[in-house]
Structure 1
């Protein structure tokens, strides 16, 4: 399916240019995952379904995508997960997808899948231990796992602001109010180590360009909007966050690239 067909399936959830860019990146990620027609895929942390749509397109009419997320249907703004996923289910791709919101993967039945995907969701985990348990369960359910996440190991000057912004947001979750998406900033090497601990062999690693996405600007703007709340924190945290805020001056902040790690048994 063309990107215009996929956008029609989503009925342009939000700004068309933004959605087109986001979907282009998801298509690049799915290509790096080597998803093939006819595959049965499990996606953990599906969110509003951007990657789900790309996966459903790749598996074709004979394939299927099971997409789960811990968040409930009312989560998200200005479009909720429920609104987004219902829109996708009503499209021509809907019959290829099952969405399970408000679903804890550790309580999900241990079925067999060709591939299990975790796309840009590892930083949402409440603890490294929780992610480790997920990867161990995934090991029992498939022969291949594919992880995509922001790459904090290599970046340009324009991408540096995005890196500092996510560090600020992680500090906010720890020292001010634990209500943000960013809980832990796992690096590529940390993810590799967790995969290996869970039994996986890292067989492929790819860098996928993402500088054109809006995420860098969004997260930089959000970090700037909460600067005053760090006045409530200790002197050490205030000094640290002030140092990070000094690095947010680049108004042309670009998104970090994505790293794709593929583990096989």
Structure 2
């Protein structure tokens, strides 16, 4: 995916680009900042409802709150192109190399943990691979909104806190806090390049696989099937949002 999509007619031009306004601490919140905060709170509700009332609440949260709203906001409202969601050629090779090293370095722990818990490794890893929506929402969307509004240092901590909050009520509080620490590490890694390739698909699935096992969540083939369906629908949403913009600007 490239960042060559032009703003839709009537869309507000971005007030700043990620390349020209990289600051440690900033204060430049906008409508997209409020939208990002709203989606975080809404996703928290979807997570809680998904664990208490049924998984369909989480699925709707993933597709509407975690995919459609970010895509519309970044691609149409702000006209930033794919780079505004973390899809960029910038530092792509570097990101993939780092991700491969981090993923390979974490693989042994995943294998040992799965063996100790007697969990099938392949479906568990595949299911975590298909959780593409999480790095997209947390880092491609929330982190990049926080960085644009508040600078990269606050963005790292806000992303960590938000990721912990996202799980409060659906998992025990100590587990939610441990997820926040995972997100802190991911945020630091992501902050260097702001390219999702440094997380997914080579590193995040392995690290997420470890985290889910440590929290008592083992994934099987049913999770692979449901994850694949969500992944396909998510890609369709991104495709049709982008296609609609291309048609309007043709």
Q: Which TM-score bucket, shorter chain as reference?
A: under 0.3
Q: Which has the higher helix share?
A: 2
Larger relative contact order, structure 1 or 2 (CA cutoff 8 Å, min sep 6)? 2
* TM-score between both structures, scaled by the size of structure 2: 0.23
* TM-score between both structures, scaled by the size of structure 1: 0.22
Q: Which has the higher strand share?
A: 1
